[in-house]
Amino acid sequence: MEESFRRKLKRGIKISVGISAGVSLIILLLTVERKTWVALGKIRPMGLFLLSAMWVIYTLLDGLRFKILTRAGDKEISLRKAIEVILTGNFLAAVTPFQTGGFPVQLYLLNREGINPGKAMAFLAFRGILIYAPIYILAPIFGLTFFSFSDSFVMRFLVRYFFIILFIGILIIGLSLLKPAVTEKFLEKIRDRSHGNIRRLLDFLIVELEEFRIGLGLFLKNHNLKHLLLAALISIFSLLFYVGLVPALLYGLGLSPNVLKAMMAQVILMALLLFIPTPGAGGIAEAGGAALYSLICPKHILGVFIVLWRFFTFYLGAIIGGVTTLKEI
């Protein structure tokens, strides 16, 4: 079992890093020119310091949100442990299709802290809801600002993909609340006819929907509702710091970004990339990011921006989470 896990982990790392590195290299080759080297001389160290500080604050807020959610259970975990659980999940999500790989290991870590699996799944499910509910509300609105100005094939593909996933997601969540038994039976039938990554994704969705219903009952109790509301408030600030990484990076690269547009673009990409089948959305994230950010970032610095953007918004947490995973497992 352990040896099989290690093999899958190594394979996932190779695929994720290989795809992302390959696409990033292509983007760099297509965008780097003489003006790029001139632009790199205008980097603002204070902007890059601000970027790093914002990432740290975002990570602390993410951990604090999860710590508060666990107050509704039998045992509240420490802020440090909450961050470790999240970063471990980030690492395993980075090396698995549809970013679903972190869930079982996070359950294991929480169980070691004395939280039973049912409540642990509810906490993880609600953390995901608090992150992505505002994203999927705002993304279609923000998308109208960008997609009408882009004739990129990549963006057109991602837009169609996004709206199909959004429609299916809203339908499944709605039905799971109104007709839980019917929805679960329907998903199980599709799962039994599926194979590979699609089957694993459906397994994940079935578990998540069940725990969402359990968690909803857990948090709607009078003494737990205040924890959910506080976690939701922290989620707003956490999201602002996360999407704020993009304008901070553009500023650090010597540009004068439109802050609102840069943050809106990050919201759109967060919504688009959640259900990409490659490990960690590798390759598609870089290509989609280049297509979208080309509307607000000059071509000669776009490749450098994409590499740093992907590092700070995804791989930095995954790398630290990898160290945590090796230490914990």
Mean pLDDT value across residues 268-278 = 78
Mean pLDDT computed over every residue of the chain: 82
Better-predicted residue by pLDDT, 321 or 199: 321
Let me know: does 139 contact 270? Beta carbons within 8 Å: yes
Pick the closest to residue 101 from 11, 36, 23, 171 (CA basis).
11
- Give residue-wise pLDDT tens across range 90-130: 888 777 766 666 777 888 888 888 887 777 877 888 888 88
Residues 6+ apart with CB under 8 A from 300: 31, 32, 33, 35, 36, 39
- Give residue-wise pLDDT tens across range 30-77: 999 999 999 999 999 999 999 999 999 999 999 999 999 988 766 789
Helix (H, G, I), strand (E, B) or coil at 212: helix
Radius of gyration of the chain (CA): 20
User: Per-residue DSSP letters for 13-64?
Assistant: HHHHHHHHHHHHHHHHHHH--HHHHHHHTT--HHHHHHHHHHHHHHHHHHHH
How far is Cα 197 from Cα 97, in angstroms, rounded to an integer?
7
* pLDDT at residue 1 in the model: 46
What is the pTM for the complete model shown? 0.81
How far is Cα 252 from Cα 242, in angstroms, rounded to an integer?
16
Q: Percentage of residues in the chain with pLDDT exceeding 90?
A: 34
Better-predicted residue by pLDDT, 103 or 215: 103
- Please state the length of the chain: 329
Structure tokens that stand for 306 in this block:
């994409």
- Give residue-wise pLDDT tens across range 301-322: 999 999 999 999 999 998 998 8
- Give residue-wise pLDDT tens across range 15-30: 878 888 898 899 999 9
- Give residue-wise pLDDT tens across range 221-254: 666 778 888 999 999 999 999 999 999 999 999 9
- Tell me: pLDDT of 327 over 80: no
* pLDDT at residue 114 in the model: 85
Let me know: does 251 contact 44? Beta carbons within 8 Å: yes
Pick the closest to residue 109 from 144, 84, 74 (CA basis).
84
Let me know: does 88 contact 102? Beta carbons within 8 Å: yes
Better-predicted residue by pLDDT, 250 or 151: 250
How far is Cα 97 from Cα 140, in angstroms, rounded to an integer?
24
> What is each CA distance from 165 to 91, 169, 170, 192, 272, in whole angstroms?
24, 6, 9, 21, 9
